Structure 1
Amino acid sequence: MDPKQRFYRHFQDSVAVLQDQIDQLESVSAVAGERQEAIDHVLAGITKLQNEVTDAADYTPSYDRRQYSETIKGLQDKLNEMVARVTPKTRFQFKRAGTSGVHVDMGAPENDPRLNPGSFARNAHTSPRAEPSKEPTESDDTVSELPKTSTTRDYNEEISKPGLSGIRKPSFSMAKNIGISNQAGLHIILPSSAARATSSGSLTDLRDCIVDMSVPTAQGKPFLGLALKDISNSLIVAGRVSGPVHITGISDSILVVTARQVRIHECKNVDIYLHCSSHPIIEDCTGMRFAPLPKCYMTETDSATENQWDQVDDFKWLKAGHSPNWTTLSAAQVLDDEIWTKVVPGQPGASVGETLKKVGIPRR
């Protein structure tokens, strides 16, 4: 795919996730700083997206960059409005450092980093922060920055270290969200201590892995949003998601997902056990097979919601008739409950490869 088109799709997907996260802020509890953590997470997401737009300047035309800039500004305004609504005593307004709140047009030649290096310096301009307005009768308050990398635990490094057990159970008790990346050949089970780290989740660059995130989202809160990207030959039990799930670049794997909305791009040979309250969407996919969520992962909330797991919309199949890119699993192909309850949690002495083989990975 052309880099310009690929980035456009990535940008649209990222905006959709951020919009859903902003919409969910009203439902996040303000107790123990949970809502503020969710706001900080959205701020970090907007900053990341803005940095990505700058990095893509080499292959995106000025018109597209102007559109991206306006969209990001719209996200900032939407977040300001939501923060003002959920915290009425403090009025927030986005303000770029050193620009007195002036919006930077990334499509303008003077701001093009290729033509005028340093004109849109990341350290000076691309970190939006929500700052309270000055009130003479109230003391100043500020939204704190996200913790620096050096002061937070590197869970991915901890997961990678050799252990006595073949199963890793990272606590994520000090984390605000779940982020697992760049792992191979590991069996990872999130314990209940990760229940407070579900403001968002991401699994990226995994190979020959088993990841089970069902426990913290069943006992605590569901993820507000989840992204799965660049995963191969793996089993992912993604848990419950109250917002959208974005699935990109998955191959020869099995996914178990409960979500309000599922969008699937550029995947091949993937079995998805799904509970979804809207039509799943696939695009540029082949060999997709769908089945309903296994009973052992169902909750009372799931049981009371219509499951549209088999109402798949293929955006790249516009002809009459059924898309050849997806089908449903037959009764003989669906994994039975014993596999989910006894094999997937891990058996004594069983390697990751042996467990993956028992669930049918690589897919036959």
Structure 2
Amino acid sequence: MADPQTPEGSRWNFSQSFLTNFQSSRSDLQTCIQQATQSGTASKQTLDSLNLQLAQLSKNIVDAAGSIPKFDQRNCESQLKEIEQSLERLRKASSPASKFAFKRKAREATQPPSNVSTASATGSVAPKSSLTLSSYTMKLVTPRDLPDPETIAPELRSELSIIDLDSCILNLLNVKQYEISALHVRDVKNSILLLPVLEGSIILHDLTNCVVVVSCHQFRMHSSQNIDVYLSIQSNPIIEHCSGIRFGPYPSAFTLENDQHVPGLAVQDFSHIKSTPSPHWCMLAEGAWKSSEDWQSILTLDAIDLERVLQQALPGV
């Protein structure tokens, strides 16, 4: 056993503690999914809770990268992937997701402002345990869909989880009342994400055919395909298990100070640890950048224009 007083010993102790906690949390989540699956379907509140637990486990793995052995990290990621598949099957059984075909859907007239339950048994509003947007299809999502800041504990207003969006435009450029500094994004496809300026990090998992606009201190993307990223960042972006990722500069239309139009962005691809250029990402050609008019049409669109804008703006359409 390594000497705990040495750096190697400290790393070993952290690794053992992390793996013990991870396996315990993973087992608990797996049991919850199995129980929900046995009942046939799960409520929206249950799915939200399961998604949040999964997002937290994923964040823990990302945060521990470099401090645990690569074999253990791959093993944890593999176990997490199996849970993701189980949860996806449960989600589809509970509320079948439509395929991306730009078929107009009726507006959700009875959908509450937020997909997180806040009412107690007595009808009073209780503080929420997290800030989350989840489970939207073919919708224009704006700050109005976030819960009232007063219903979120102050210490939890800085982290936002965005989970399970399909064919949506999400515009959160102006959410100053929440002081969001970190974002966790998972299971998003065929969508445009206009995200707030972050002093901290953004971690994205399992995105497909999307446009992402964000300014942040740290950017990490995992298991995603066919994504256009318009980015302002002070550090090097990180991608892993990704393909078809194109990076462009943060849009000047959004008047960000210290805008970075750096053509030689140094992206770290953890799936291509070689001296040769990574085949998984490239810089978006200047001629392919969206114009100020393009961004303005996205910012000012009405919900009825949603599918038209998606047809024009998404990478794979």
TM-score by length of 2: 0.57
Closer, same or farther: CA 336–195 of 1 in aligned 2, 3 Å: farther
**Pair 1:308–1:241, CA change in 2 (3 A):** farther
For 2:171, the aligned partner's letter is: D
1:44-65 deviations in Å (ceiling 9; x for gaps): xxx9x7862442789xxxxxxx
Deviation at 1:257, TM superposition (A): 1.1
What one-letter code is carried by the residue in structure 1 that aligns with 2:108?
Answer: P
Secondary structure of 1:358's counterpart equals: helix
User: Which residue matches 1:141?
Assistant: none
Q: Given the alignment of the two structures, is residue 292 of structure 1 paired with residue 249 of structure 2, yes or no?
A: yes
What residue identity is the alignment partner of 1:181? S
Matched, 1:55 2:14: no
Q: Spell out, residue by residue over 1:204-260, the C-alpha distance to the aligned partner (whole angstroms, 9 max, x if none).
A: 11111111111114xx46422111111111111111121111111001111111110
Q: Is the 8 A contact 1:207 1:234 kept in 2?
A: yes
Q: How does 1:1-364 map to 2 (within 5 A)?
A: 52-55=25-28, 162-163=108-109, 178-191=131-144, 196=149, 198-217=157-176, 220=177, 222-300=179-257, 302-303=258-259, 310-347=265-302, 349-350=304-305, 352-359=306-313, 361=314, 363-364=316-317
Amino acid at match of 2:216: A
Alpha-carbon contact 1:279-1:308 (below 8 Å) kept: no
Distance 1:236 1:203 in 2: 10
What amino acid sits opposite 2:174 in the alignment? V
Matched length: 214
Q: Is the 8 A contact 1:241 1:259 kept in 2?
A: yes
Structure 1 Cα separation of the partners of residues 204 and 179 of structure 2: 17
Look up the equivalent residue of 2:307 and give its one-letter code.
G
Q: Name the CA shift for 1:263/1:178 in 2 (closer, same or farther; >3 Å).
A: same
In 2, the alpha carbon distance for the partners of 1:323 and 1:261 equals 20
The separation in 1 between residues aligned to 2:162 and 2:304, in whole angstroms, is 26
Change in Cα spacing, 1:169 to 1:295, as seen in structure 2 (3 Å) is farther
Q: Rate the CA distance shift 1:278–1:298 in 2: closer, same or farther, 3 A.
A: farther
SS of corresponding position for 2:273:
coil
Whole-angstrom distance in 1 between the partners of 2:290 and 2:271: 29
Q: For 2:175 and 2:145, how far apart are their aligned partners in 1?
A: 5
Return the alpha-carbon distance in structure 2 between the equivalents of residues 322 and 224 of structure 1: 32
SS of residue matched to 2:175: helix
1:358 & 1:281 partners in 2: Cα distance? 28
In the TM superposition, residue 322 of structure 1 has moved relative to its aligned partner by 1.1
Indicate how the Cα distance of structure 1 residues 192 and 349 shifts in structure 2: closer, same or farther if over 3 A, else same. Answer: closer
The one-letter code of the counterpart of 1:213 is L
Distance 2:172 2:296 in 1: 14
Give unmatched runs, 5+ long, in structure 2.
1-14, 32-56, 65-105, 117-124
Q: Normalization by structure 1: what TM-score?
A: 0.50
**Structure 1 letter corresponding to 2:202:** V
Decide whether the 8 Å contact of 1:180 with 1:204 is kept in 2.
yes
SS of corresponding position for 1:353: helix
Deviations along 1:137-186, one digit per CA (max 9) or x if unpaired, are: xxxxxxxxxxxxxxxxxxxxxxx97249xxx9769998675311111111
- By how many angstroms is 1:311 displaced? 1.4
What is the alpha-carbon distance in structure 2 between the residues aligned to residue 192 and residue 185 of structure 1? Answer: 14
TM superposition shift of 1:345? 3.1
Task: Flag the 1:323–1:250 CA change in 2: closer, same or farther, 3 A.
Answer: same
Q: 1:170 to 1:53 in 2, by over 3 A?
A: closer
Which of structures 1 and 2 has the bigger CA Rg?
A: 1
Structure 1 residues without counterparts, runs of 5 or longer: 1-11, 16-46, 59-67, 76-159
Offset at 1:363?
A: 1.7
Question: Structure 2 vs 1, CA of residues 327 and 362 (structure 1 numbering), >3 Å: closer, same or farther?
Answer: closer
